Amino acid sequence: MSNIKIRTRSGEWTASLDDSDMSNEIWLSLPFSADINMLGSQIYFVMPLESKAKGETKIFDVGDIAHWPEADALCIFFGPTPLSTDGRPVAAFPMKKIGKVNGDCSEMDASGDRMRITLERSF
């Protein structure tokens, strides 16, 4: 597993990425900054990747990090989304889970739409 640091104006979190080729590509491309888009309790931002794994699921757990192949975006689920029925985040499109934020990430709610997010390597 590879560890990363996620920073926004509302805080800093650590996360672990799985051992997939996609996660390795992300880790090797860091540091990376982008503008945040918010949808319910989900942050997503464009991060073009060479790896094009298909989306596998629409149902996630709070803290999951996923790749949204159709949008070339990374998504971080920090709470229920508009499609949630049982409190678990539900995406509108299939995504590939690639990691998880370590600990409580509910404060990501204050990150703000169109604000910056930065991903860095963490050891």
Q: What is the DSSP letter of 61?
A: -
**Residue at token pair 């703000």:** 112
Residue 121 half-sphere exposure, CB side, CA atoms within 13 Å?
A: 10
Instruction: Indicate if the alpha-carbon torsion angle 24, 29, 33, 39 is positive or negative.
Output: negative
Quote the CA–CA distance of 37 and 49 in Å, as a whole number.
Answer: 18
pLDDT digits (tens, 9 = 90+) for 48-96: 888 778 889 999 999 999 999 989 999 999 998 888 888 899 999 999 9
What's the pLDDT tens digit per position in 10-30?
Answer: 999 999 999 999 999 999 999
Q: CATH number of the domain that 26 lies in?
A: 2.40.100.20
Q: Give the structural domain span for 11.
A: 2-122
Number of domains into which the chain is organized: 1
What's the CA gap between 23 and 70, in Å, rounded? 17
